[in-house]
Amino acid sequence: MENNNILKINEIFKSIQGESTYTGLPCIFIRLTYCNLRCTYCDTEYAFHDGQDMSIKEILEHIEPMGVKLVEITGGEPMLQKNVISLMKELLKNNYKVMLETSGAISLKDVPKGVNKIVDFKCPSSEMSDKNLWSILDELNLRDEIKFVVGDLNDYKWVKSKISKYNLDSKWTILLSPVFGKITLEEMANWILQDNLKVRLQLQMHKYIWDPEKQGV
């Protein structure tokens, strides 16, 4: 019989939130194992398979002493494990502010309304843009955020076309993040300013605070 309370967890740690509109805040990260995508620039390949089974009760007991009420569920792709829905509900019930970072390739219709979703639609240089499920837009709340990781100028132009096609900037906060080490922040900033694009430039703050290869920060 399947246990509805067990998830495979890659790691749990406390750090500074490096992305989204919550950048700079102390945050607990719950990283789930498994991913259905293989982005060219992926920096968490260790989450594809490695992990240990934990019950929702064990997860809550693990994070409670950390003393932080902002929690991000990430991966991998957390939506691959259906018990993540129960985890989100329990976190909300225990008065945590819950964020979900997801790839934009799996429906979010069952995600509790109190969860802030960060949807990371894939640009062409990821070689995974054909997996984007644009119908997800109908499942988002206005407080949710849309993220694009941009690897080159072609990606940036593609993002502009999607913002226009789906009228994204009139509904949600749009996050543009350069692939670390591929595009400079100055390049990205200049593109945005030249086009007066209504987006938020974000860097992965944790990669500037700590060694960018360091795990668990």
Per-residue pLDDT tens for 11-70?
999 999 989 999 999 999 999 999 999 999 888 888 999 999 999 999 999 999 999 999
Given a contact cutoff of 8 angstroms between Cβ atoms, the answer to whether 119 and 173 are in contact is no
Q: Looking at domain 6-209, does it have CATH number 3.20.20.70? A: yes
Per-residue model confidence (pLDDT) at position 181: 82
Name the residue among 18, 12, 51 with its Cα closest to residue 31.
12
Q: Which residues of 67-106 are buried (b: 16+ CB within 10 A; e: fewer)?
A: ebebbbbbbbbbbbbebbbbbbbbbbeeebbbbbbbbbbb
Residues 76 and 198: their CA atoms lie apart, in Å, by: 29
DSSP-derived letter for residue 126 is: G
Kindly tell me if the per-residue pLDDT of 1 is higher than 70. Answer: no
pLDDT per residue as tens digits for the range 66-89: 999 999 999 999 999 999 999 999
Per-residue model confidence (pLDDT) at position 217: 64
Per-residue model confidence (pLDDT) at position 44: 85
The beta strand positions in the chain, using DSSP E, are 6-16, 26-32, 52-55, 70-74, 97-102, 116-121, 145-150, 173-178, 200-201
Q: How far is CA 8 from CA 28, 36, 102, 207, in A?
A: 17, 15, 16, 26
Kindly tell me if the per-residue pLDDT of 208 is higher than 80. Answer: no
* Domain boundary assignment for the chain: 6-209
Per-residue model confidence (pLDDT) at position 2: 53
Structure token digits, residue 61: 């007991």
Per-residue model confidence (pLDDT) at position 32: 98
pLDDT per residue as tens digits for the range 131-180: 999 999 999 999 999 999 999 999 999 999 999 999 999 999 999 999 98
* Percent of the chain surpassing pLDDT 90: 84
